Structure 1
């Protein structure tokens, strides 16, 4: 005998989970933290769809309550195929509830390292880098621009130029070099790609902690560390601790 009440209960839990998830998204929007998860250009669309999803889930729950009142619980014996469904639904509800109350946070330096911060990812094509090459004022370039130039141009062009960048510390395993890093986001944090500039600071671990945000000014030099694969590094003349920016990602 099939237990109709259990099936309706699972569907009811699914509606609760959707409501919690949509409420969590709306909460992030009200806190101004939705940009920690998606590109800002998708904010309005995401909030509108979350509002629609919340309304649909609430209507579904009300309809489910009325339907449950008309169905008497049936006794089910033997192996219960709906047990796993109920357990899965409850886990989904708890996960969505956790998302609703979790403290929003940016991606960490560990994520940057695991996604290949030390491989100098190419985020722009040669034509864009050529526009950076032709600029008259390199002091205005940010961490994304320098990361692109490091990927496309050799030491003859980079060495001797000064830069001022802001990023968080990422440990790539070298005691003399860390990466000033940020994440480049095209859609959401799932596709976020770490970018960064290698900074030459011997024994840096005694002074700077991973994930701490720094504002670094210095000059690009040929890498004096023979154990590093990077040909060019930024030798800082000034390093200052700063608070995380309101927009931690670059686009």
Structure 2
């Protein structure tokens, strides 16, 4: 499944692309081990090599020997065989469905449910330090969300031009929030990043948009984006930031 997603370019919907090499190499290793396991004869896992030979086994009256190899061997039980077949069918079905069905990105509703109002954890003082140098051209929603939440000098960013893509969520400090899910390792640790946007238009919640505008600082020191354009777009091929 992992190899199939990597070949079709969809693995980035599940994990950070920086980890693709590790996931793919481990999948190849596991796949090779799984294929190699079929070389073992059926029942070999029960043979622990306890055949010590007749030279060292104490003989008892009646011709028997302790530790001999004359124990009856039984094949797999009907229940065990049925459980194996059922497990194989279910596991194969899950893999096939994962490969055939298109993967869905995490929704805006999930992003809002994970938004607890705390400052973002995916960027630290390094982002703010970089921003104060004036180099904010490569910043995404995640970096700007960190700057908006942690800066002690909002005037330093007043007037910075931005062009950002994200989805719309309800806002408190603006007409709406521009949001994005930021992934550190995989979708399990995805965190929402949101920045307020001031604009007369109000796209529907969950609608993807590209916002162009300028960062402005209010009299109370809050930062927001004053939009000069809000273009509604389809969900991008890579909906996450990393």
TM-score by length of 1: 0.66
Greater Cα offset, 184-193 or 118-127: 118-127
Candidates 35, 45, 50, aligned match of 2:12: 35
Contact 1:25/1:47, CA 8 A, preserved across alignment: yes
Q: CA RMSD in A?
A: 3.7
1:161-194 superposed Cα distances (whole Å, 9 cap, x missing partner): 432211122x247696332222222211111222
Contact 1:150–1:158, Cα closer than 8 Å, also in 2: no
- CA change 1:63–1:130 in 2 (3 A) is same
In the alignment, the residues of structure 2 paired with residue 175 and residue 202 of structure 1 have an alpha-carbon distance, to the nearest angstrom, of 14
Matches within 5 A, 1:1-251: 24-60=1-37, 63=40, 66=42, 72=75, 74=77, 91-116=90-115, 118-135=117-134, 138-154=136-152, 155-169=154-168, 171-172=169-170, 177-201=175-199, 204=202, 208-221=203-216, 231-251=222-242
Take 1:237 and 1:184, find their aligned partners in 2: how far apart are those partners?
25
| Structure 1 pair 164–248 and aligned structure 2 pair: CA distance change class (3 A) | same
Contact 1:117-1:195 within 8 A present in 2 as well:
no
TM-score normalized with structure 2 length: 0.69
Q: Give the Å deviation of 1:94.
A: 3.9
> Do 2:174 and 2:224's aligned partners in 1 also have CA atoms closer than 8 Å?
no
The number of residues matched between the two structures is 212
1:12 corresponding residue in structure 2:
none
Cα 1:231–1:39 change in 2 (3 A) is: same
Question: Which runs of 5 or more residues in structure 1 are unaligned?
Answer: 1-23, 225-229
Higher helix share: 1
The answer on whether the counterparts of 2:122 and 2:184 sit within 8 Å (CA) in structure 1 is no
User: Matched residue of 1:216: which SS?
Assistant: strand
**2:52: which partner in 1?**
none
Residue of structure 2 equivalent to 1:227: none
Structure 1 CA distance for aligned equivalents of residues 156 and 111 of structure 2: 27
Runs of at least 5 residues in structure 2 that lack an aligned partner in the other structure: 45-72
1:117–1:194 CA contact under 8 A, matched in 2: no
